[in-house]
Amino acid sequence: MEKEDIRYLREVVLRKTGIDLSFYKETQLQRRLQFIMLRAGTQDVKEYALLLDKDPRVLEDFKNRFAINVSEFFRNPERFEDLQAKVLPEIAATSGPILKIWSAGCSVGSEPYSIAIVLEEFERKKLYHIWATDIDEDALSQAREGVYSEAYFHSIPPEYLDKYFVRQNGNFAVVSHLKRRIVFAKHDLLRDEIKETFDLVVCRNVVIYFEEEAKKIAFARMSQALKKGGYLWIGSTERIPDPSSFGLRYVLPFFYRKE
């Protein structure tokens, strides 16, 4: 693939999705690109970039293939059990009057809404606020709308579906009192500073395609956004190789605590 063509493709992807492919692992990027280009009926990067720019279906396929927005309610349910039983009691005991949570790379919103449900169900009622961010404006609009097809609900405990959603033309809409607890905003984990600190930072299945340097930037930013004793929750295929270099300590599978 010509460097110049790849540069043009990066420009189009950045403009269309907010994703900066220069932070993505080169080998994975090329492998995936070859596959996606074939599906779009071309082997020419420049031509593919033009298609991506013009044809919403090609853009949609690109996003799906890169698993860019893939998400669901209570993804990896056993980790939500750990959140409920082990992490939440600890942070609730040490936080201020309002528990502050940041869901980074929240995609279409199913992750922060799932966390809100866990907090609503938490036996020691506590005020909470969730800041949910992503770089993808389309994903954020769906998150704000809060309406989902059945495909998003494979892992949700069934009683929560009845309690926190209303049926709407064959889909499911989040009840408004849950919506009010979450603010959705555009934020790039690799570029935008964070001024606040949180009791829990959740960043799952976001850094998987990042290069090592980009991962370091992201983990440093998340750690910086945590209060002392706060928790970082990462995705179930991810790990932080040297957590102490970010001031973090491994506590439970996929949970780290800020020292």
**Stretch 11-30 residues interacting with ligand SAM (CB under 6 A):** 19
Q: Which residue lies nearer to ligand SAM by CB, 19 or 45?
A: 19
Q: Is the dihedral of CA 87, 230, 76, 148 positive or negative?
A: positive
Selected range binding ligand SAM among 8-16, 50-58, 172-180, 201-209, rule: CB under 6 A: 201-209
Note the helical H segments in the chain.
Answer: 3-17, 26-39, 45-54, 56-65, 77-82, 88-94, 110-121, 137-145, 158-164, 176-179, 212-224
d(CA 115, CA 35) in angstroms, rounded, equals 35
**Stretch 118-157 residues interacting with ligand SAM (CB under 6 A):** 134-136, 139
Q: Which residue lies nearer to ligand SAM by CB, 154 or 167?
A: 154
Q: Counting every residue, how long is the chain?
A: 259
For the bound state, the minimum distance from the C-beta of residue 207 to ligand SAM, rounded and expressed in Å, comes to 8
Three-class secondary structure assignment of 52-76: HHHCHHHHHHHHHHCCCCCCCCCCC
Instruction: Indicate which single residue of 95, 130, 172, 205 sits in contact with ligand SAM (rule: CB under 6 A).
Output: 205
**Stretch 31-50 residues interacting with ligand SAM (CB under 6 A):** none
Instruction: Indicate which single residue of 12, 91, 206, 222 sits in contact with ligand SAM (rule: CB under 6 A).
Output: 206
Q: Which residue lies nearer to ligand SAM by CB, 86 or 191?
A: 191
Residue 90: Cβ-neighbour burial (10 angstroms; 0-12, 13-18, 19+): middle
Q: Could you list the residues that contact ligand SAM (CB under 6 A)?
A: 19, 67-71, 75, 105-107, 111, 134-136, 139, 188-190, 204-206, 235
